[in-house]
Amino acid sequence: MSSVRVLVGTRKGAFILTADGKRDTWDVSGPHFAGWEIYHVKGSPVDPQRLYASQTSSWFGQVVQRSNDGGQTWEPVGNKFEYAGVPGTHQWYDGTARPWEFKRVWHFEPSLNDPDTVYAGVEDAALFRTTDGGQNWEELAGLREHKTGSSWQPGAGGMCLHTILLDPVNAQRMFVAISAAGAFRSDDAGTTWKPINQGLHSEYIPDPAAEVGHCVHRIAMHPSRPDVLFMQKHWDVLRSDNAGEMWTEVSGNLPSDFGFPIDVHAHEPETVYVVPIKSDGEHFPPEGKLRAYRSRTGGNEWEALTNGLPQKDCYVNVLRDAMAVDSLDSCGIYFGTTGGQVYASSDSGDSWKPIVRDLPAVLSVEVQTLA
């Protein structure tokens, strides 16, 4: 029988939640790496027992942990993230030039065909890759060295590369997103990059339609249609039908077009999920009602999903890496909150329940569907 493993990164450790395919009863393991910030935990699609975790601390810096047994045991691997060459500068909040400085790994994206190859999105924004299971990390410097790199600026959370999407059809193609530079695409396996921000409109920058400078919060793709991308931006939900060449706003009737995560149903490529958040100064759900929104039309027409979610006095946030889906026949949707709950729906969002509810603030949620 199939089972599900949910990998949760929090402000104070990692937790692993497991259930059988019914998803009724959950076992909670953790905290792993207690007391450390776990920005992300993700498994290899080739070898689901191989997990990578980003363990960070303002005191002790970056540690990378690897598991070969689905998170029962872990071993620290390489944690040296050194920018290639002389890294130069980017823009700081006050407009001054600031040297690139590694701070932490926000996101690991394991290769689609090799458990030892993993991409890491880091702050200050850059892309690294290991091909030896995390022992050594090498920067794919063409991204940071893009001619616009010196003009990139941090968002409120830092200048982070938080999204990495690997094209399952075209091995040469990958997408990344950086706050607050925007989205980029490589068509040569990460060697060179182009900004893909046409159609984005951001009133908070001097030229709202600039080539870079947009605060992209998250991008999602359905593996069956890698040219179709969905984006949650700092205001506006958008889609692209041509691999990011042009974006169109599809915020439609959302109560707030601000939010962080966005994801796509495992079996319905036009069914998309977001969690609207009120911004700028508040960053909690509109009206204190925690609602996921689902569009079955690829955007524009959205329905509130409320069954089982708190509909009063709820003031949590849902961060950009904190939503994921499983691939069971009845698709499961999962998201974690800064209040420490992980909510799950085993019926595509029609109904929800907290599968754990008193964790530290949740930074990331990933789901593995196991045979």
Partner 1 sequence: MIRVVLPAHLRTLARISGELELPVDGKITQRSVVDALEERYPTLRGTIRDQATKKRRPYIRFFACEKDLSHDSLDAPLPEPVAAGNEPLLIVGAIAGG
Q: In the complex with partner 1, which residue's Cβ is closer, 103 or 194? A: 103
Using CB under 8 A as the binding criterion, the count of chain residues that bind partner 1 stands at 13
> In DSSP terms, which residues pair with 249 in a beta bridge?
238
C-alpha 223/C-alpha 317 separation (Å) is 27
Residues 25-84 that bind partner 1 (CB under 8 A): 35-36, 57-63, 76, 79-80, 82
* Residue 246 or 361 with smaller CB distance to partner 1: 361
- Residue 137 vs 273, nearer CB to partner 1: 137
CA angle at 184 for the pair 90 and 134, rounded to the nearest 5°: 80
- How far is residue 326's CA from residue 334's CA, in Å, rounded to a whole number? 8
Q: Which two tokens stand for residue 132?
A: 């030896």
Closest separation in Å from C-beta 33 to partner 1: 8
CA pair distance 211, 126, nearest whole angstrom: 18
Which residue, 332 or 340, has its beta carbon nearer to partner 1? 340
**How far is residue 68's CA from residue 76's CA, in Å, rounded to a whole number?**
12
Q: Cβ 338 to partner 1, closest distance in Å?
A: 13
Closest CB 281 distance from partner 1, rounded Å: 22
Nearer to partner 1, 276 or 340 (CB): 340
Closest to partner 1 by CB, 37 or 236: 37
C-alpha torsion angle, residues 18, 23, 24, 29 (rounded to 10) = 10
> Least Å distance between CB 57 and partner 1?
7
Instruction: Tell me the DSSP string of 302-349.
Output: -EEE-TTS--SS------TB-EEE--SSS--EEEE-TTS-EEEESSTT
Both tokens of residue 350? 């029609």
Closest separation in Å from C-beta 14 to partner 1: 14
The separation between CA 61 and the C-alpha centre of its own chain, rounded to angstroms, equals 21
Pick from 139, 247, 142: which is nearest to 193 by CA? 142
Hey, CA dihedral for 150, 153, 157, 163, is it positive or negative? negative
In the complex, the smallest distance separating the C-beta of residue 319 from partner 1, rounded to whole angstroms, is 17
Q: How far is the CB of 179 from partner 1 (least distance, A)?
A: 22
Residues 178-217, interacting with partner 1 (CB under 8 A): none
Separation between Cα atoms, residue 257 and residue 284, nearest integer Å: 13
In this complex, which beta carbon is closest to partner 1, that of residue 19 or of residue 63?
63
Between CA 252 and CA 264 the distance in angstroms is 17
Residue placing its CB nearer to partner 1 in the complex, 23 or 104? 104
Using alpha carbons only, give the angle 40, 218, 118 rounded to the nearest 5 degrees: 40
The DSSP string of 206-274 is: SSTT-SS---EEEEEE-TT-TT-EEEEESS-EEEESSTTSS-EE--TT-S-S-EEEEEE-SS-TT-EEE
What is the closest distance, in whole angstroms, from the C-beta atom of residue 98 to partner 1 in the complex? 16
Answer yes or no whether residue 85 interacts with partner 1 by CB under 8 A. no
C-beta of 58: minimal distance to partner 1 in Å?
6
Nearer to partner 1, 135 or 242 (CB): 135
Contact residues: partner 1, CB under 8 A? 35-36, 57-63, 76, 79-80, 82
